[in-house]
Structure 1
Amino acid sequence: MSARRRFRNLIRIGPVQVGTAYDQRGREKHTAACTAPRCGFSSEYDSRSAAELAARTHRCPAR
């Protein structure tokens, strides 16, 4: 079971939300997750710019 994370600095780019949180080892991670139904895209990055780039270039296959 994964730990419940406290996200901060949330932004929304289209249907994708980008947030910052700390992982289980105390490192800062940036997550991009699509909120569209039946999409399922979610990925974790070391840098904020990489997460925002993924959010800008994401295309939902559910469309």
Structure 2
Amino acid sequence: MPRPNRFRDMIRIGPVQVGSYYDGRGRDRHTAACTAPKCGFSADYRNRAAAELAARTHQCTA
């Protein structure tokens, strides 16, 4: 059974949360996910700046 993600360095930019975690191979990854109802936006990035840029430019369609 895979271990759950352990997010760290969480920040919120509008409705989007950005967090960092280590993937299964020990690499540092960053996720941006919208918390608005019925939005469904989430994406993984290799660097923190890209995740924060996605959070700042995200437009909810719902």
Give TM-score scaled by structure 1 length: 0.93
How many angstroms apart in 2 are the aligned matches of 1:2 and 1:38? Answer: 27
**Same amino acid, percent of matched pairs:** 69
> Which string of whole-angstrom CA distances, capped at 9 and with x for unpartnered residues, describes residues 12-61 of structure 1?
00000000000111100000000000000000000000000000000000
Q: Provide structure 1 residue ranges, at least 5 long, that are not aligned to the other structure.
A: none
Instruction: After TM superposition, list the pairs within 5 Å mapping 1:1-63 onto structure 2.
Output: 3-62=3-62
Q: Provide structure 2 residue ranges, at least 5 long, that are not aligned to the other structure.
A: none
- Pairwise CA RMSD of aligned residues? 1.3
Count residues in correspondence. 62
Give TM-score scaled by structure 2 length: 0.94
Give secondary structure in 2 for the equivalent of 1:30: strand
How many angstroms apart in 2 are the aligned matches of 1:49 and 1:15? Answer: 17
How many angstroms apart in 2 are the aligned matches of 1:3 and 1:51? Answer: 23
